Amino acid sequence: MGEFFNKIPADLQDHVKGIAQSVKLDSDVDALEKVAQAWLEKNDVFAEKLGEMSMTEVDELLKDDEKGALALTYSGSLVNIGPKIDGVRSVKYTSIGYRTNAPDSAESESSTLQSNVSVGNIISFSGGPVKSTSPIYKIAVVEDDNMSPEEQQQTIYDAATMIEEEFIEVNKTVLEDE
């Protein structure tokens, strides 16, 4: 295996291999190394932006918790889970791009969590186009417990937007540079 792939946490390596098989790259490119490099850079971006947006990592978000969260999947996709408002949540799923087996993005204004969101497990939703995700690698919530649901939603949305923009840049520089 290569320089970048060996830096991927062991529990994610099989998942990253699967992603590499589902990306569209030129045949002479080592897709596994490119996907591993992109995944590592996206993981760094996620952590950096959380600090900038006063968000903190947690291991779990209970399905009945009023808070919203931002999750990074094993695949490197983002899941923006709005706070619970009137019993439902807004949800936005954004894929890593270049995959042939996942939509680029999907969103809903009226989803509910089917179970707790926890590191290492999938997120299951009812309502909206996203039914489930790949396993979750990281979960972040807003640090300020006194923030209104609308303020939380805006903070999570802003963080997700910044991260998505950085992820697009990673895709351009890593997956398109050959």
Q: How do residues 142-175 score in pLDDT, each as one tens digit?
A: 999 899 999 999 999 999 999 989 988 888 887 6
Give residue 73's domain range. Answer: 11-175
Those residues with Cβ within 8 angstroms of residue 170's Cβ, 6 or more apart along the chain or in another chain = 38, 41, 42, 45
pLDDT at 94 over 60: yes
In a domain, 142, yes or no: yes
Q: How far apart, in whole angstroms, are the C-alpha atoms of residue 170 and residue 94? A: 14
Q: How many CB atoms lie within 10 A of CB 37?
A: 21
In a domain, 5, yes or no: no
Q: How far apart, in whole angstroms, are the C-alpha atoms of residue 170 and residue 50? A: 17
Those residues with Cβ within 8 angstroms of residue 64's Cβ, 6 or more apart along the chain or in another chain = 84
Query: What number is the average pLDDT over the span 107-125?
Result: 90
Tens digit of each residue's pLDDT (9 = 90 or more) over 39-60: 899 999 999 999 899 999 999 9
Q: How many domains are contained in the chain?
A: 1
pLDDT averaged over every residue in the chain: 85
Provide the phi-psi class of 136: left if phi over 0, else alpha when psi is between -120 and 50, else beta.
Answer: beta
State residue 100's pLDDT score: 46
In a domain, 159, yes or no: yes
In a domain, 1, yes or no: no
In a domain, 2, yes or no: no
In a domain, 75, yes or no: yes
State residue 102's pLDDT score: 52
In a domain, 4, yes or no: no
